[in-house]
Structure formats: structure tokens, C-alpha cells
Structure 1
Amino acid sequence: MKRIISFSFLLLIVMQVNAQKTSSLIDELVNKYSGKWPKSISFTQKTVLINDSTKIYQTWHEAGIFPDLFRIDFDRAAGSSAIFSGDKQYRFTNGKLTRTLPNNNFLIYLVGGMYFHPLDSVKKTISNIGIDINEEYTTTWKGKKVRVLGAKEGDLTKNQIWYDEKDLYLVRFIHNLSAKVQMDYHFYGHIKIGNAWHEMLIDFYQNGKLTQTEEYQDYNTNVTLDPAIFDPAKYGKVYWK
């Protein structure tokens, strides 16, 4: 006697297979690095700000405690810094707090913060960034195979994140800040420290034009950092090397 399989049963199987397929990259990322990513980092950054033919060279000092504390000292002598704490960003000029803004720096989350949250939370946050977790494909970029999450192949108009296929480190993030401004971040020069891979170079493209480059030096992981470094009320009193 022939077995009759209902349409609803077949549909359920297809939905389960598709769900596993489209969420596999985030699943793998969290499974690979959860509990293994360094809790804290610090480094010196050689920054080049590019405006047409003009280049400005600066040295920034940066430190962070994952998942959501980060600080950039643009110019310590001038008291110029940015502190990212939770959902807030604090800007300092001449040693004084001048602005408090929403924390919209998603790079902190993508380069480490996400590995300190449960899988369901990561999927929700990635979706809130505007990345479609139901779109995924594999391609080749800069001579290496990469996995792309957030768009169909060939579509560079949507928010999306690209990862090295073998070691699952971030190599590209395309983020539409508005209808007229698209940022395209390229991460490379990765080195392995402990169980995690860390980029040493980042190029920032705005609407296809290179506007900033970053080169990391003196990169340290699991360093001891005083949480007061990230307290706006204690700005100017606590530093790190």
C-alpha cells in the first residue's frame, strides 16, 4: 500500500530545513567563539582620515571590555575622547563632556560583543541592525572563500556581513546609515591570539570612496582594565597604557 504524505507535513519539513540553512552561519559563529573570545582588549591605532587629496594622520588609544564597553582617546593631551557604554555614547572635548548620544557603533558588537550573548539574542540584534538572517550565500572575495549574511548574491545595496569561510572571522560589513549614506568596512590582516582571530587593519568606504584607514599596534587581549575608564563621571582620572 502506498503511503500518502500530507502537503502540510512536507511543508513543515521544508520550513525546518530552510530554517536550519538560513540560520547556520550565526549558529556557527556563536558556537565557535562563545566562551572563547577575550573579555578585554587594548591597542594603539594609527589612523588616516582622507578627504579627497588631503590626509590627516593621527594616533588613537583604544580599549574595551566586552560586550558593550569601549573607549577611544583621540587626543589625550587635548582631552578628546569617546566612551561607548551600553546604549549610550559620550563625547569629550577639552576634557569636558560635550555630547551624549545613542550608541550606534555596531562594530563593537560585531567584532566581539556578540559572543557574550545567547544565540537567540544575537539573532535578534543582528536583525535589528537591518541584516536579513534569512539570506545567506557563499562566494569568493579577495582570493578567499567567504560566507555572506543579509543579501542575495550580487546585491550590495542591503546591510550585510561577510565572514571568512574557514575561520569565521569578520572581513566585511556593509551598513546603510541612511538612504543616501552607505558605509562599507573592510577588515583584514587578521592574526590569531588564543582562540580568536583579530583584524589588524580596517578600511572605511563611504558611498564607495575611501575615507579612513586604521592600523592596529600593540594589540593585547584579556588585559586588566579598570571599569572606571568607561565611566563618564571619572573621565580624566583613569587611563590605561
Structure 2
Amino acid sequence: MKKHFFRRRSLVLLCLSFLSCYSFAEAARPKFKTGAEVVNAMYKRWQGKWYPNFQFEQRAIFYEKGQVTKQEVWQEIYSQPGRLHIRFDGFETGNGAVFAQDSVYRFKEHKLAGKMPQIHPLLLLSFDVYFYKPEETHAKLEQLKFDMNKVYEANWQGRKAYVIGTTDPKDDASNQFWVDKERLYVLRVLTNNKGTVRDVEMNNYQLIEKKWVATEIVFKTNGETTLREVYYNMSFPKSTNDGWFDPDNFSNTRWQ
């Protein structure tokens, strides 16, 4: 009888100890109350570890009413902070865009076709957030009209996530971004421009050369898929040429 009693007592104590440790671990997890706290955590987690340069090609698949309308191959290169050069269907077409200094420059047949101020939310949240000081990222997100005082937790494609910009799970119209709770990279970005809602999903994250990369990006407009990007031939150059991101050098730029 005594043996059974002590065995049961030991088992109960073991279970209580486990539950106590589990509760402590749960309690120790940060409970972010603002978007600024989430951004701070992203920066702290990956500062000095995220890749400063990223080169890749992509299949750009365009949709209309659920049907593929055309496909192109794009060449792209990113360099922190906030610089992206895109060539549409090869360098020889002369078509593409350069994002630099919070502006976008669009080119057609090697000539500048348009320029406008633009903070690129996907560049900011996928890359620049790990290089800018958090205060600068906060300011840019506020410029983009994300309500940094609203945060809740949700699930996204089987992953736990922080949602910044709303506290209503049914809200699919407010500016908001979703961040993986464990890995602290962006999963989804919604922006609302005068009633037109753009929902961008960063999907199929893979570890490539020990670096997390979203290899599929899906763009939806008012709930309908309009573009899907699939990345391949990815690499992480140790350095880039500043001239590649100078709009005046667009026609002469080559990195392959």
C-alpha cells in the first residue's frame, strides 16, 4: 500500500511540476500591446542576421477572373535599405522599375515613364525592418496609415501570428500586417487605398543558405487574385553596386 501511495504521490508531484513549468513558460512569452513592440522584437531578433542583399528571378503569373492571362520572367535585386531594381522580361526590353529613397521610378523601353513618392510596404516589412532603427520603421508604418496601437493574435496557414493594425478578426479592410509569432517575419500585408483593398500573402517560406525566404507572393485585389510571383535562382550577394539603384543608370544596369 505504501509503495502505491508513494508512486501516486510522486506522479502527482511530477504532473504539478510539469504544469507549473508550462504555465511559467506561457506566462514568460511576451504579450505585445502595440505594433511598435512587435517591430522592436523583429529588429532585435534578426539584427545583423537578415540578408542585406537578395538577387533572384521570378515567374510573374497574372490573373483575371480566376484565369491566367499572361506570364513573364522578371529579374530583381534588392539592397538594404529600401532599394529594389526590377526588370520586366529581361534587360533588353528596357521595361522595369527602381525603388529608391522612398520613391518609385517606372521605365518603358529604357525611358523614364513616371516617378512618384512611395514607401514600399512589402520592402519595409520583409527586409528594411531589420536594418532601419525601429523608430524609423515605426514612423514609416504610421505614414502608411497602419494603426500601431491595435494588435491581436490569430492563426495564418497553420502558424500563430501577431496582427497589427486592427483588433477585429472580421476586419479585412483596414491597413494591417501579420507577423509570424515564433519566427518574427512578415506573413501578410493588407492596404486599403480609397476602398480598393490589396491583400498580399508571403507564402512558402524556405530556409535557403540558412536564410528564411518567402518563395511565393500572392497579390489579391478586393479578394480576387491578380498576380502570383514564384521565386527561383535565388542568391545573396555580399555586395551590390550603388549605381544599379540610380534611375539615371537604368538602361546600362546589368547584374547578371
* Shift in Å, 1:127: 1.7
Q: Gapped runs of 5+ residues in structure 1?
A: 1-18
Match of 1:105 in 2: 120
Query: Is the CA contact 1:79–1:93 (under 8 Å) kept in the aligned structure 2?
Result: yes
Query: Is the CA contact 1:33–1:196 (under 8 Å) kept in the aligned structure 2?
Result: no
The CA deviation string for residues 23-42 of structure 1, in whole angstroms up to 9 with x for no partner, is: 43122111112222211111
Match of 2:251 in 1: 236
The residue type equivalent to 1:174 in the other structure is L
Match of 1:198 in 2: 213
Query: In the aligned structure 2, how far is the partner of 1:124 from the partner of 1:193?
Result: 31
* Shift in Å, 1:21: 2.8
Query: Is the CA contact 2:188–2:200 (under 8 Å) kept in the aligned structure 1?
Result: yes
Q: Secondary structure at the match of 1:225?
A: coil
* Shift in Å, 1:105: 2.3
Moved more, 182-191 or 103-112: 103-112
- Within 5 Å, give how 1:80-95 maps onto structure 2: 80-95=95-110
Moved more, 51-60 or 211-220: 51-60
* Shift in Å, 1:87: 2.2
Identify the structure with the greater helix proportion: 2
Query: In the aligned structure 2, how far is the partner of 1:69 from the partner of 1:141?
Result: 29
Q: Secondary structure at the match of 1:200?
A: strand
Query: Is the CA contact 2:87–2:96 (under 8 Å) kept in the aligned structure 1?
Result: yes
Query: Is the CA contact 2:119–2:144 (under 8 Å) kept in the aligned structure 1?
Result: no
Query: In the aligned structure 1, how far is the partner of 2:32 from the partner of 2:64?
Result: 44
Query: In the aligned structure 2, how far is the partner of 1:20 from the partner of 1:106?
Result: 21
Cα 1:125–1:70 shift into 2, 3 Å: same
* Shift in Å, 1:64: 1.2
Output the TM-score relative to the length of structure 1: 0.86
Query: In the aligned structure 2, how far is the partner of 1:114 from the partner of 1:235?
Result: 26
Percent of aligned positions that are identical: 26
Query: In the aligned structure 2, how far is the partner of 1:199 from the partner of 1:117?
Result: 20
Query: In the aligned structure 1, how far is the partner of 2:217 from the partner of 2:249?
Result: 30
Query: In the aligned structure 2, how far is the partner of 1:218 from the partner of 1:175?
Result: 29
Cα 1:24–1:102 shift into 2, 3 Å: closer
Superposed CA RMSD: 1.8
Cα 1:69–1:160 shift into 2, 3 Å: same
Query: Is the CA contact 2:75–2:86 (under 8 Å) kept in the aligned structure 1?
Result: yes
Query: In the aligned structure 2, how far is the partner of 1:65 from the partner of 1:119?
Result: 18
Q: Computing the radius of gyration over CA atoms, which structure comes out larger, 1 or 2?
A: 2
- The answer as to 2:55 corresponding to 1:42 is yes
Match of 2:73 in 1: 59
Match of 1:73 in 2: 87
Q: Gapped runs of 5+ residues in structure 2?
A: 1-30
Query: In the aligned structure 2, how far is the partner of 1:215 from the partner of 1:157?
Result: 26
The residue type equivalent to 1:25 in the other structure is V
Output the TM-score relative to the length of structure 2: 0.81
Query: In the aligned structure 2, how far is the partner of 1:195 from the partner of 1:122?
Result: 25
Counting matched residue pairs gives 222
